[in-house]
Amino acid sequence: MKWTDLDDNWCPVARTLSLVGDRWTLLILRDCFLGLSRFDQFAESTGATRHIVSDRLKRLVEAGILEKLAYSDRPKRYEYKLTEKGQEFAPALIAFKDWGKKHLPVRRPTQA
Amino acid sequence: MKWTDLDDNWCPVARTLSLVGDRWTLLILRDCFLGLSRFDQFAESTGATRHIVSDRLKRLVEAGILEKLAYSDRPKRYEYKLTEKGQEFAPALIAFKDWGKKHLPVRRPTQA
DNA sequence: TGCACTAAGTTCCAAATAAGAACTTATATG
DNA sequence: CATATAAGTTCTTATTTGGAACTTAGTGCA
């Protein structure tokens, strides 16, 4: 079974996962909450390939979680912002953060 | 970059995702909270292939989120139960559930 | 005895997805 | 003109997944 087939599952958790149940998608959302909004920022911050960033942003916009806004007309440049629907995803990310802080302490510090 | 490389990321959300940031893993956890505990139950309930169920259960046990317990000795039969660490993941699933209920209503009822 | 059945996996191959790097497009800047 | 920037796209190769069949160890009839 493919994961997008979960979109009309009886379970609201499954339906949510069919949209955002993938690590890169959730990392991009985290970045949005941290104030990032541009393609290159997402690519660098998450470590996902540009291909993936492109695909995930497209899905998130289609789902109404992010909106794509032009911040420059010449040259055309876009940024991505959380919609209200997206903002309301905060509790889930906070729950992930709390769980990670408590149960997954960093062993090796990231190379500064 | 591979997602398991996120395990020592500075961000606790990323570290959490390196472990459970995948749709089937989260669906299996949902099932555990719903009281399911056996291999075949997970496979049927989530719709994931047995291959995936096997892999994800292994990871979850290694991570200390589930524990594998024998419920029968002859023949050897096992079940999977949430550890305390796993139990504490509840808030994240509840956040997913709430968001899904609010923002992703079911269109077509699942064939009863 | 032997045949079917169950639970918990494993194995196999084809198909889908992801990684990584290079390329494109439109414009601005020196 | 040459270089730089932002936001993607394209390409090839590698990894992961899907789906079905097979395995293992034991139980329960008939």
Residues 68-87, chain B, touching A (beta carbon < 8 A): 85
**Residues A66-101 pLDDT 10s:** 999 999 998 999 999 999 999 999 999 999 999 999
- Residue type at A108 in one-letter notation: R
Name, in order, each residue with C-beta under 8 angstroms of A91's C-beta and a sequence gap of 6 or more: B91, B95, B98, B99
List Cβ neighbours of A60 (8 Å cut-off, separation of 6 or more): A20, A25, A28, A29, A66, A80, A86
Q: What residues pair up with A70 in beta bridges, in sequence order?
A: A78
Between the CA of residue B7 and those of A25, A51, A66, A110, what are the distances in Å? 17, 22, 27, 11
The dihedrals phi and psi of A52, each to the nearest 5 degrees, come to: -65, -45
The pLDDT value recorded for residue A111 is 44
CATH 1.10.10.10 given to domain B3-103: yes
> Does the pLDDT at position A107 exceed 90?
no
Q: State yes or no: pLDDT of A108 exceeds 90.
A: no
The per-residue pLDDT for range A12-54, each reduced to its tens digit, is 999 999 999 999 999 999 999 999 999 999 999 999 999 999 9
Integer distance in angstroms from CA A35 to C1' C30?
32
Instruction: For residue A73, give how far its alpha carbon lies from the nearest alpha carbon of chain B (Å).
Output: 32
Q: Which residue type, as a one-letter code, is found at position B34?
A: L
pLDDT band at A3 (very low <50, low <70, confident <90, very high): confident
CA-to-C1' span, B69 to D29 (A): 30
Kind of pairing between the strands at B77-82 and A77-82: unpaired
Taking the C-alpha atoms of A47, A50, A52 and A58 in order, what is their torsion angle to the nearest 10 degrees? 120
Q: Which among B16, B60, B87 is the top mutation candidate for probing chain A, defined by the most A β-carbons within 10 Å of its own β-carbon? A: B16
Q: What is the pLDDT of residue B108?
A: 57
| The predicted structure's pLDDT at residue A4 | 77
Dist. CA B72–CA B6, nearest whole Å: 37
**Segment holding B77, helix H or strand E:** strand B77-82
pLDDT of the residue at B109: 53
The predicted pLDDT at position B28 comes to 98
Task: Give chain A positions within 8 Å (CB) of B16.
Answer: 96-97, 99-100, 104
Q: What is the mean pLDDT of each run of 10 residues along chain B (112 residues)?
A: 82 96 96 98 96 98 97 95 98 98 79 42
> Any alpha helices (H) in chain A, and if so which ranges?
12-20, 23-33, 39-46, 50-62, 84-87, 90-103
What are the beta bridge partners of residue A68? A80
The CATH number that domain A3-100 falls under is: 1.10.10.10
pLDDT at position A112: 40
Question: Given a cut of 60, is residue A65 above it in pLDDT?
Answer: yes
Residues in chain B within 8 Å Cβ distance of A97: 11-13, 16
Report the pLDDT value the prediction gives residue A48, as an integer from 0 to 100: 96
Check if the interface score ipTM surpasses 0.95.
no
